[in-house]
Amino acid sequence: QQQVKQSPQSLIVQKGGISIINCAYENTAFDYFPWYQQFPGKGPALLIAIRPDVSEKKEGRFTISFNKSAKQFSLHIMDSQPGDSATYFCAASRGSGYSTLTFGKGTMLLVSP
């Protein structure tokens, strides 16, 4: 059972454009939703995260939009740059005595110059 579904699998965006990656979750007990960025040969790095008490969080060019009723959240990358080319993972976790993240399958983003 895949608890966090991520789409699209891959994405090509022109430099300066907006990249949008979507995730949907099933477990209503999830209460923390981070996005991770992973470059080849590296581990995932935390990019931005949101909790269900807000509908949007913005940090620089990166914005998370969160829709609790639809159980969906998305990452928007404004003014996409070639350096943003990486694999992006959404994830979710719930307070259960220890922190564990359930990841989506990832989206490979290519920003063309």
Partner 1 sequence: ETGVTQSPTHLIKTRGQQVTLRCSSQSGHNTVSWYQQALGQGPQFIFQYYREEENGRGNFPPRFSGLQFPNYSSELNVNALELDDSALYLCASSADSYNEKLFFGSGTQLSVL
Binding residues (CB under 8 A) for partner 1: these are 4, 6, 32, 34, 36, 41-46, 49, 89, 91, 93, 95-106
62 touches 75 (CB < 8 A):
yes
State the first-to-last Cα distance of the chain, in angstroms, to the nearest integer. 38
